[in-house]
A and B are shown apart, each in its own frame.
Chain A
Amino acid sequence: MAESPATTERTGGVPRWLRPILVLGFLYLFLVGVKGLETGIKVFGVDAAERIFGYVSSPVAGLFAGILATVLVQSSSVTTSTIVGLVGSGSLSVAAAVPMIMGANIGTTVTNTLASLGHVRRGAEFKRAFAGATVHDFFNVFAVVVFLPLELATGFLSKSATAVSSLLAGSGSVAAAPGKSPIKAAIKAPVALIEGSLTDLGLHRGWVGSLILALALVSIFVALVFVTRNMRVLMAGRMEAGFNAVLGRGAGLGAMILGVVVTVAVQSSSITTSILVPLLGAGVITLENAYPVTLGANLGTTVTALLASLAADRPEALTIALTHTLFNVFGILAFYPVPLVRRLPLRAARALAEVATRRKRVVLAYLVAVFVVLPLVGIVVFR
């Protein structure tokens, strides 16, 4: 330790000054991806897309499709951005997309639950880590149980989102001003170029659409991975400071804001919630203090869908992105301010962790049942 460790911060070989530029570049690629999704569907034929999504036209099937898709790509940001792109293309209605968005919220919780498995051999540590991971699951499941039936019965989420969306359109915001935005013009150009090049090759329209769709999905995925990776390096010092402050001062609104800010910065709620898992396992943060950070992460991740809506032409894209945000805002309002209700996800997570610590098979059964079997069966049964 001849050198001060503070001077040996690792940057993964990429100069620090280059990372913000890379982030901007990958954000651009992300928007191009979302635009490509919209264009690909249009070329592919909206009718064909409607036939595909007809399989998940039932809200319950849509919910399970959202869970399964997110588990498969390990990122709710990818799923929600794809949904925004599909809604923007007109191939998926807002009503059909709402349960999918809710499903994505549940599906994303698998990542930190998997992260908690790193502590599985050490009983007390695992109990804390697993409870901290699954409190995210329980919050999202409870929120869906409350708000999906309400939304189906009244449409209050999508109606509220439509109202906010119209308000933004009235204010002439970037997201709601099709054709006028310089961002939209900048992201349309490469997509049009790719579409033109593929068409010039004399390929069948179905193939052109499929290729654009595939490229778009890869772009969204790659862009989000690299935005997250670079932002994590750029934000690491500030994230450490923020988490240290939360540990020192306890739970509350500050912890929630920390969750929002960190997640918006790294564009991944899984990063935020997975950071909490080892802290919970080590016992340096309590479940009560970690819970608001998790809720903040849930809210912060909705910014990705809002960003994606910048690329879409139809105002419905912004509506579904806002629905995602409002769902999480209402979820927090329902499950955080009242102490008695706040304790429900905490108690459920602690009870599950208690059982899981005693019988390790329960952990595997829980993961497979909730994140794989149930969604698959749900899609088949309710389609």
Chain B
Amino acid sequence: MVFDLFSGKGESQIERIEQQIQEMLAACGRTIDIATDALFGRVAPSEVGETLRKSDRAVNRLEREIRRELVVHAGVRGASADIPAILVYMSIVKDIERLGDYAKNLWDVANAGADITGLSEFDRIQRDVAWVRELVDRTAKIFAERDAAAAQEALNEADAKLDEFDAMVIEQLTSDRPSREGVPIALVARYLKRISAHLMNVMTAVVMPLDRLDYWDEDKADRW
């Protein structure tokens, strides 16, 4: 470990934190895959429960590591510490960590015995999950490249998708179908919405000023 002092070019550890954020997003992507495999009946929920929890624990561990590293960065750099970057990372690692939690919630729906494979919304939910899964990868790429144009495009797309998820929840609230059908659909739509919203929060770091992080979905007129 002390040899770390002599190795490399001595760049800021912010580079390392960037890599860890990518690792977190990749791990969240895997957690969502495991959860939705269970939800879509591809595997038995009990079979993948431990793998899913392990993957989520890896995300949590990375979140704590990043926080510690940010404190070290501030302590070592003192007045020259990159304070805005520290605040951004503190904010977005929390958002990324929540992705894992919502993925677990999706698995919980499957583990509770819900079967959505025979429902009329199944194809649509499969498409939505594929879209959310792709959004995870897009977010990782956009954040790594600080691609503002791609971020704005993805944010607009996701913003519209949030409305669709909301509509799906409201549709279940007002329908007369049995709760064993309506509740899982509403929960899944709700969790997909939260995953999308947290990914949007991460992307706001690329296009929004620090004080407006997480506020993409409010004050639409002031957005730009």
Q: Which residues of A contact B (CB under 8 A)?
A: 1-6, 8-10, 12, 232-249, 254, 257-258, 261-262, 265, 275-279, 282, 284
Contact = CB atoms under 8 A, between A and B. Distances in A.
A319 to B, nearest CB: 29
Interface of B: 1-2, 4-16, 18, 65, 67-69, 71-78, 80, 82, 84-85, 88, 146, 148, 205-207, 210
Given A2-B148, A5-B82, A282-B71, A236 B12 contact: yes
Given A5-B82, A235-B10, A241 B5 contact: yes
B78 to A, nearest CB: 8
A1 B72 contact: no
| 6 interchain residue pairs of minimum CB distance | A5-B85, A245-B1, A237-B10, A241-B4, A240-B13, A238-B10
A356 B7 CA distance: 41
B146 A247 contact: no
* A interface, over-half SS: helix
B68 A1 contact: no
A353 B183 CA distance: 54
A6 B6 contact: no
B155 to A, nearest CB: 14
Given A236-B12, A243-B75, A244-B68, A4 B18 contact: yes
A275 B81 CA distance: 12
Q: Which of A6, A233, A248 has the most B CB atoms < 10 Å from its CB?
A: A6
Contacts of A275: 75-76
A238 B74 contact: no
Contacts of B73: 240
A2 B9 CA distance: 25
Given A10-B82, A235-B10, A279 B75 contact: yes
A257 B2 CA distance: 7
A282 B86 CA distance: 15
Contacts of B206: 1-2
A123 B1 CA distance: 33
A317 to B, nearest CB: 29
A258 B3 CA distance: 9
Contacts of B74: 278
B145 to A, nearest CB: 8
A276 B74 CA distance: 11
Nearest to A282: B71
B84 A234 contact: no
Nearest to B144: A4
A137 to B, nearest CB: 20
Given A1-B88, A240-B72, A6 B5 contact: no
B71 A279 contact: yes
A275 B72 CA distance: 8
A1 B5 contact: no
Nearest to A278: B75
Nearest to B15: A6
Contacts of B77: 236, 240
Given A1-B205, A279-B71, A279-B72, A238 B5 contact: yes
Contacts of A233: 80
A243 B73 CA distance: 9
16 contacts: A1-B210, A2-B207, A5-B14, A5-B84, A6-B14, A235-B5, A235-B10, A236-B12, A237-B9, A244-B13, A244-B16, A245-B1, A245-B2, A247-B68, A279-B71, A279-B72
Contact of A243 (B15, B18, B76, B80): B76
A233 B79 CA distance: 11
